Structure 1
Amino acid sequence: MAQRPALPATLAGGTSPLPPGIETMLSGMSRYRDLALVAGILGVLGLLIIPLPPFLLDLLLGLNIALSVLILMVVVYIASPLEISTFPTVLLVATLFRLGMNIASTRLILSEASAGKIIHAFGTFVVSGNFVVGVVVFLILLVINFVVIIKGSTRIAEVAARFTLDALPGKQMSIDADLNAGFIDEKEARRRREQLQREAEFYGAMDGASKFVKGDAIAGLVITGINILGGFAIGVLQRGMDLSAALKTYTILTIGDGLVSQVPALLISVAAGLIISRTSSASSLDKDLSMQLTGRARPLLVVAGVALVMGLLPGFPFLPFALLAITIGGVGLLRQRQTQSAEREKLREELAQADAAKKSPEQPIEELIKVDPVEVEIGLNLLPLADEQHGGDLFRRIANIRRQLASELGVILPPVRVRDNLALEPDEYVIKLRGNIIARNRLYVGMLLAMNPGNADGTLRGIEVQEPVFGLPATWIPLHERENAELEGFTVVEPATVLATHLAEILRRNADRLLSRQDVRQLIEALKKDYPALVEEITPDTLPLGTVQKVLQNLLREQIPIRDLPTILEALLEYVKVTKNTDVLTEYVRHHLGETIKRLFQDSNGVIHAA
C-alpha cells in the first residue's frame, strides 16, 4: 500500500508557517482588536492635523483602495444584507478615512508640490500627463458616482427604510399567527422577531449613512477646485513659477489626488447600491445573476442572433459581434442541452414510478373499508401544497399542528391522512373526521389571503371571501400585492397557512371525538415510569378505562387541557368510590384542576374578566 506523502515540518508539528514576528503581530491584533479599532479611528482623525511623509501617504492610499475592493467583494458574495449589518458604520469610517486622506494629500501638494508616487502615477500615467484629459475623466467619474449611483442608492435607502418600518406590524402579526397555529415554536418565533428588528435597524441606518456618501462626493469636488486654485496661487505668487507651469503642475497633482480618491469612493458607492437594492437570497449575488440571466436558453440564443445580424450590417465591425454571437450562442446551446437532459431524466423517473405502481400488489380489501380518524382531501389545483419536491410544506405544517396540540391539550392526536379527490372542485378541500365531512373551503394557489384584523385601512381588489376559522372578511390577492396590503394593515397569509390553521382549529374543537380508549391506555402506560403506584391502582374493577375516557372527553369538550393526567387520575380514584356518573366525576376533576382552568381565562395581569 502506498504511503501518504509526509506533511511539511511546519504543518506536521502543528506550528504556523508564518514568520514568528508576523505571527506575533497578528496574534496581538486579534487579541486587542477593540484597541486596534479605536487606534484606527484616532489615526484617521490624526490625518487632519499631522503632516504625512510621501511614503506613508502612498501606503495609506493603497490601503484605501484595497479596503474599498474588499468591501465591494464582501457585498458581492454575501447572501443577505444582514450578513454585513455593520455596513453603515463601515461606510461612515471609510468616508472619514477618505476625507482625511484628501486633507493630508492637499497639505503635501500645496506645501511641497509633490504628493507621493501613487498620486503622481494617477496624474501622469492614467491621464497621460494631460491635465485636460484628467479634468474630464475626474468630472465623468464624479458625475457617475454622484448623479447616478449615489442618487439612486439614496432613494432606494429611503424607500427601503420606510417600507420596512411600515410592514413591521403586519410581519409581527404573521409570526404570532404562525406561532399560535403551531407552525413554529417559541424559539423560531423569537429568531424571526429579532431578524425583523435587525432589518428595520439596518435599513434605517442605511438611510442615514447614504447621506455620508453623497456628502463625500460633494466634498471631493470642492476640495479639487480649492486645490487647483490654491496651488495655482502658491506656484505663481510664492514659488515664482510661470502661469502655464503652475497650472500644469498643480492641476495634474490635484487631478491625480482626485482620481485616487474618487476610484475608492466609486467602489464604496457601488457596494452601498448593491447591498441596498439586494433582497435576501439563499445564495450569493454571482450565483443569482448567473442563474437568472443565463438560466434560460431562448433569450441567449435570441441575443446571439441579434449580435450576428449587427455584425453583418454595412459599416459595423464584423469580428467583435461575431465573437459575441459565438460566445453567447454557445452558452445558450449548453443551457438548452442541460434543460433537455433534465426533462428526459424527469420523464424517466415518472415512467419508472408508473411501472412500479403497476407492479405493486393489489390493495387488500381490509384497507378499503378502513376509516381514518382524520382526513384532508384536496382538489387538483391544491396538489402543489403537498408536493415537498416543489416547495410544498403541508405535511410539515400538519406535524407541527400535532405537536402544538399535544403541548396545549395533553392529547396525542392521530395521524392526518392527506389525499387528492378528483370529485372535488379543483380549488376545494374538505376535512373529515372518521369519514364524515366536518368542514370545506376553497384555496387559490398562487395567491395570498389578506385578512382585515379590524384596523386595516383601504380596500383590496381580488376575490372577496370569509376566512374559515375566525370568520373575518378576507380577500384573495395576487402575490405582488402583498407589500401594499401589509402596509395598509392587512394580515397576509399563504394558502397552506389557511388550510393548516383551519385544520388546527377543527382538531382543537373535536379533540374529544378523536380520543379513543386505545389513546387513553397509551397515555396511562406512559405514566408508569414516573407514577408506578398510581398506574398499578388503576384496574377494571377500581377505575374502568371507559370511565377515564368519558371524563377526559368531557374535559376536552370544554377546552380544558388534560396534560396534568396524574392529578386527573388521582381525583378519579378518590371519587369513583362515591359515584360512577361520569358527569359528576368530571365536576370533581374540575375542582382539582382549578389552577389550570383559572390560567386559561386570566389576562397578562392575572385578572379574570367576567360579565
Structure 2
Amino acid sequence: MNFSELVSLIRQKLKSGLAVPIAVLALLGMVTIPMPPFLLDVFFTFNIVLSMVVLMVTIYAKRPLDFAIFPTVILLATLFRLSLNIASTRVILLEGHEGGAAAGKVIEAFGEFVIGGNYAVGLVVFAILVVINFVVITKGAGRVAEVSARFTLDSMPGKQMAIDADLNAGLITQQEAQQRRSEIATEAEFYGSMDGASKFVRGDAVAGILILFINLIGGFAIGVGQHGMPFGDAAQVYTILTLGDGLVAQIPALLLSTATAIIVTRVTGAERKDMGEQLQMQMFSNPKALGTTAAIVGIMGLIPGMPNLAFLSFAAIAGTGAYLIHRQQRLQPQQAEVAAAQEMEEEVPTSSELSWEDVQSVDILGLEVGYRLISMVDQSQNGQLLNRIKGVRRKVSQELGFLVPAVHIRDNLDLKPNQYRILLMGVSSGEGEVFPDRELAINPGQVFGEVSGMATKDPTFGLDAVWIAPSDQDQAQALGYTVVDASTVVATHVSQLIQDYAYELLGHDETQQLLDKLKQTSPKLVDELVPDKLSLATLVKVLQNLLREKVSIRDMRTIMETLTEHASRTQQPGELTIAVRAALGRSIVQEIVGGDGELKVITLDPSLEQILLQATQGAPEGQLAVEPSLAERLHKALKEQAEQVEISGQQAVLLVAPQIRAQLARLFRFSLPNLWVLAYSEVPENRQISVVANIGQGG
C-alpha cells in the first residue's frame, strides 16, 4: 500500500465514523497493554504534532465557532496524553534500570538534550513549565471561559429579540433567522463546553505533577530495592527518564493550554478575520504607537551601559514601520480622489442639445445619505445597507401584495455627515442620524440597567435608545436592550415608511400588473370586471383605500369577485371599499388577534353612534362633520381605553357601524396609530367578541 492509498483509507474511516471509536479503544489498549519503546516514540511524536496542529487551527480560525469541536478535541488529546503517561510510567518502572533509552529515544532526548543532563536544571525547567501552564495560562483560560459562558447565556434573550426584529423588518429571511438562532445556541453550548474543557486541562496539569513524583520515588525505590542499582546510578537514570517523560508531556500540554486561551479570548468582529489579520489591523494600523515606541527605545539605547546595538536596532525598525504606515495612510485618500476623478471624467458626457432625457423624473422612493454614510451603501467597503433594503422590499411586497418600487440611493452634501433622508415622490417623509461605527441599543420598554453611550431616540418608533460601542453589545443585550447596527436602523425606517405610505406607491401601472398576474389564473374574472363593469381608476382607488388602513391586497381574487358582485349597484370607491373589507374580514381580524384569539373591542354608545351617523349625511365622502368638542372628548376617551387594552397585551379595536368606520379611521389615523377601527360586518360569525369598554357622548 503506497502513501496515497493510506491517506484515502484514513479519509474513508473518518467519513464512516469509525475513527473516533477506534481511537478510544486504542487509548484503553495503551493503558492496559505494555508498549515497546518504539511505539512510545511514535505516539509521543504524534502527541506533539497534534498539539501544534490544534494550536495553528485556533490561530487561523475566523471565529471560535469555526472550531466548535475544540472542547471534544481537548478532551481526547488530554486522555491520549494521560494514557501515554501511564504507558511510559509502566516502561520506566519496569525497564528503567537498563538505561536512559529504555523508555524510547524521545524521552531520552528530552532528558539529555533539553536539560543538558543536569538534574537541577531539568527540575527547574519542569517547574517553570508547570507554573506557566497551571497558574498562568490554564487558570486564566478557565476564568475567561467561565465568564464567557455566563455572559453568553445572559445575552441570549437580547440576541433572540434582535433576530426577531430583523425578521419582522424584512432584513433577513426565515431561513437566515433560523441559521442565526442555531448559531446562538451553538455559541452557548460551545462556551459552556469550553468551561468544562478548561477543567480537563487544569486537571491534566495537576496529574503531570503527581506523575513526576510517582516516577521519581517509584523508580528510585525499584532501581535500588529490586535491581540492586547503586544510589547514584539509580538517581541519574530515573531522574533523566522522569524529567524527559515530564517534559515530553508538558510541552504538548502547554501548547493545548495556549490554544484554549487563544480561542476563548478571541473577539469576533463583523469582518471575521483570523488572528494575524486582526493583529495587523488593530496593533499596526496607528503609526503614532510605533513612532512613540521607537522614540522611547531609541532614548534608552543612547544611555551608556545599555545594550545600545539591540535597542537602537529595534528603534530603527519601529520607526521605519511607523513611517511606512503613515505614508500608506496618507496616500490612500489621494488614490481614492484620483480614482473618483477618473470615473467622473469618464462619466461626463459630451456637450449636445437638450432633450427630454435631460429632464429627470421624480423618484418614487429615494434615500439620501451624508458623506460619512457612503460606506454603508458601498459594497466594496462591506456596506450592508443595499442588501438590507432589498430584503425590506421583498418582505413588504409579500405582505402588501404588490411589488414595491426600488429605492434610489444617492449622496447629498447638504445633509449632515451622519444624516439620512427618506424621500417619497421627491418629498422628505422621514430622516434620522446614524453612526456606522456604533450600535444602537433600543430600550423595548423594560431593561435591567443602563449602558454608556450617546442617548438618542429610535428614528422609526421614537423609543429611547443609546448609541454604544460595538464592544458593549453583549452587555447591552444581557441588560435587555435590542441592539442593531446602523444599516438595520435605516432599513427599518424605510420599511415603516413604505408600509405607512403604501397607498401612494400603488398606481395604475402597478394595478394593471396585478390584473395581468391574476389573469393567468382567473382570466374570466378579470375580463368581466375591467373595464366593462368598473374602470381601472376606480379599482386603483379601492385598492389604495385598503392599503391606507394597512389591509393587504394579496387576496386579489376575493377583491375582484366582491367588486364584480357590487359594481352593478354602485361605482363609489367608498361603498365598494366597505364591501371588500367585509369580504376580507377574516384576514383583517386574523392580522389583529391571530388565528383563534378572542377579539376585545371598544364600542360606542348607540346615541353617540347615531349622532355620528347623522354627521356623515350631507358631508363630502370620507369626512365627518362633528363639533370639535365632541371630537376631542371622543379622542380622549378612546386614547384612555386603548392604552388600558394595550397594557393587557391586546390590540385596541373600535367596533362601529360600517357607514362611519372609514371616517373614524381617517380621523384617528395619526393621533391613535395603534387603534384598529372595524365595522360590524367585518367580524366573522365564528369569532368570539368581548366588549371591554363602551364610550358615550360624555366620553
Per the normalisation by structure 2, the TM-score is 0.78
Report the Cα offset of residue 599 of structure 1.
Answer: 3.0
Report the Cα offset of residue 469 of structure 1.
Answer: 3.5
Q: Is the 8 A contact 1:380 1:426 kept in 2?
A: yes
| Distance (Å, rounded) in 1 between the aligned partners of 2:381 and 2:414 | 24
Report the Cα offset of residue 142 of structure 1.
Answer: 0.8
Report the Cα offset of residue 58 of structure 1.
Answer: 1.5
Report the Cα offset of residue 200 of structure 1.
Answer: 0.8
Q: Which runs of 5+ in 2 are unaligned?
A: 97-101, 602-699
Residues 275/418 of structure 1: CA separation in 2 closer, same or farther (3 Å cut): same
Residues 77/303 of structure 1: CA separation in 2 closer, same or farther (3 Å cut): same
> Per-residue displacement from partner, 1:403-462 (whole Å, max 9, x unpaired)?
111110112223334445555555554444334443444445544332222331123444
Per the normalisation by structure 1, the TM-score is 0.88
Q: Which runs of 5+ in 1 are unaligned?
A: 1-16
Q: Is the 8 A contact 1:555 1:561 kept in 2?
A: yes
Report the Cα offset of residue 484 of structure 1.
Answer: 2.3
Secondary structure in 1 matching 2:439: strand
Specify the alignment match of 1:129 in structure 2: 117
Residues 466/78 of structure 1: CA separation in 2 closer, same or farther (3 Å cut): closer
Q: 2:571 aligns with which of 572, 580, 586?
A: 580
Q: Is the 8 A contact 2:534 2:571 kept in 1?
A: no
| Distance (Å, rounded) in 2 between the aligned partners of 1:104 and 1:294 | 47
Report the Cα offset of residue 491 of structure 1.
Answer: 1.1
The one-letter code of the counterpart of 2:88 is S
The one-letter code of the counterpart of 1:71 is V
| Distance (Å, rounded) in 1 between the aligned partners of 2:451 and 2:295 | 44
Q: How does 1:222-233 map to 2 (within 5 A)?
A: 222-233=210-221
Report the Cα offset of residue 172 of structure 1.
Answer: 1.0
The one-letter code of the counterpart of 2:493 is H
Q: 1:208 aligns with which of 196, 217, 224?
A: 196
Q: Is the 8 A contact 1:175 1:192 kept in 2?
A: yes
Report the Cα offset of residue 303 of structure 1.
Answer: 4.3
Specify the alignment match of 2:560 in structure 1: 569
Q: How does 1:142-541 map to 2 (within 5 A)?
A: 142-280=130-268, 282-304=272-294, 306-321=296-311, 323-325=313-315, 327-328=317-318, 331-332=321-322, 334-353=324-343, 355=345, 370-379=361-370, 382-421=373-412, 428-541=419-532
The one-letter code of the counterpart of 1:563 is R
The one-letter code of the counterpart of 1:243 is F
> Per-residue displacement from partner, 1:546-565 (whole Å, max 9, x unpaired)?
12111111221222211122
Q: Is the 8 A contact 2:442 2:483 kept in 1?
A: yes
Task: Note if 1:54 corresponds to 2:37.
Answer: yes
Which shifted more, 552-561 or 351-360? 351-360
Secondary structure in 2 matching 1:157: helix
Residues 144/53 of structure 1: CA separation in 2 closer, same or farther (3 Å cut): same
Task: Note if 1:112 corresponds to 2:102.
Answer: no
| Distance (Å, rounded) in 2 between the aligned partners of 1:181 and 1:361 | 45
Secondary structure in 2 matching 1:450: strand
Report the Cα offset of residue 337 of structure 1.
Answer: 5.0
Specify the alignment match of 1:71 in structure 2: 54
Which shifted more, 483-492 or 420-429? 420-429
Which shifted more, 542-551 or 393-402? 393-402
Which shifted more, 470-479 or 148-157? 470-479
| Distance (Å, rounded) in 1 between the aligned partners of 2:21 and 2:7 | 22
Which shifted more, 45-54 or 369-378? 369-378
| Distance (Å, rounded) in 1 between the aligned partners of 2:225 and 2:346 | 96
Specify the alignment match of 2:683 in structure 1: none
Secondary structure in 1 matching 2:441: strand
| Distance (Å, rounded) in 2 between the aligned partners of 1:140 and 1:317 | 27
Specify the alignment match of 2:13 in structure 1: 29
| Distance (Å, rounded) in 2 between the aligned partners of 1:275 and 1:420 | 41
Report the Cα offset of residue 481 of structure 1.
Answer: 3.4
| Distance (Å, rounded) in 1 between the aligned partners of 2:596 and 2:215 | 71
Task: Note if 1:86 corresponds to 2:72.
Answer: no
Q: Is the 8 A contact 2:508 2:540 kept in 1?
A: yes
Secondary structure in 1 matching 2:32: coil
Residues 494/526 of structure 1: CA separation in 2 closer, same or farther (3 Å cut): same
Report the Cα offset of residue 285 of structure 1.
Answer: 2.0
Specify the alignment match of 2:639 in structure 1: none
Report the Cα offset of residue 56 of structure 1.
Answer: 1.5
Q: Is the 8 A contact 1:601 1:608 kept in 2?
A: no
Specify the alignment match of 1:9 in structure 2: none
Q: Is the 8 A contact 1:79 1:285 kept in 2?
A: yes
Residues 571/297 of structure 1: CA separation in 2 closer, same or farther (3 Å cut): same
Q: How many residues align?
A: 593
Report the Cα offset of residue 349 of structure 1.
Answer: 1.5
The one-letter code of the counterpart of 2:488 is T
Secondary structure in 1 matching 2:599: coil
Residues 322/394 of structure 1: CA separation in 2 closer, same or farther (3 Å cut): same
Residues 573/163 of structure 1: CA separation in 2 closer, same or farther (3 Å cut): same
Identity %: 44
Report the Cα offset of residue 573 of structure 1.
Answer: 2.2
| Distance (Å, rounded) in 2 between the aligned partners of 1:313 and 1:465 | 54
Residues 218/339 of structure 1: CA separation in 2 closer, same or farther (3 Å cut): same
Secondary structure in 1 matching 2:388: helix
> Per-residue displacement from partner, 1:538-596 (whole Å, max 9, x unpaired)?
44332210121111112212222111223322322232123222223223323433443
Aligned-residue RMSD, C-alpha: 2.9
Report the Cα offset of residue 239 of structure 1.
Answer: 2.1
The one-letter code of the counterpart of 1:597 is I
The one-letter code of the counterpart of 1:52 is M
Report the Cα offset of residue 388 of structure 1.
Answer: 4.3
| Distance (Å, rounded) in 1 between the aligned partners of 2:263 and 2:515 | 57
Which shifted more, 400-409 or 425-434? 425-434
| Distance (Å, rounded) in 2 between the aligned partners of 1:607 and 1:72 | 56
Secondary structure in 2 matching 1:597: helix
Specify the alignment match of 1:95 in structure 2: 78
| Distance (Å, rounded) in 2 between the aligned partners of 1:84 and 1:418 | 39
Specify the alignment match of 1:606 in structure 2: 596
Secondary structure in 1 matching 2:600: coil
Which shifted more, 396-405 or 124-133? 396-405
| Distance (Å, rounded) in 1 between the aligned partners of 2:12 and 2:559 | 64
> Per-residue displacement from partner, 1:129-166 (whole Å, max 9, x unpaired)?
11111101111111111111111111111111111111
Specify the alignment match of 1:10 in structure 2: none
Residues 74/594 of structure 1: CA separation in 2 closer, same or farther (3 Å cut): same
Report the Cα offset of residue 490 of structure 1.
Answer: 1.1
| Distance (Å, rounded) in 2 between the aligned partners of 1:98 and 1:559 | 66
Residues 340/471 of structure 1: CA separation in 2 closer, same or farther (3 Å cut): closer
Task: Note if 1:44 corresponds to 2:34.
Answer: no
Residues 299/436 of structure 1: CA separation in 2 closer, same or farther (3 Å cut): closer
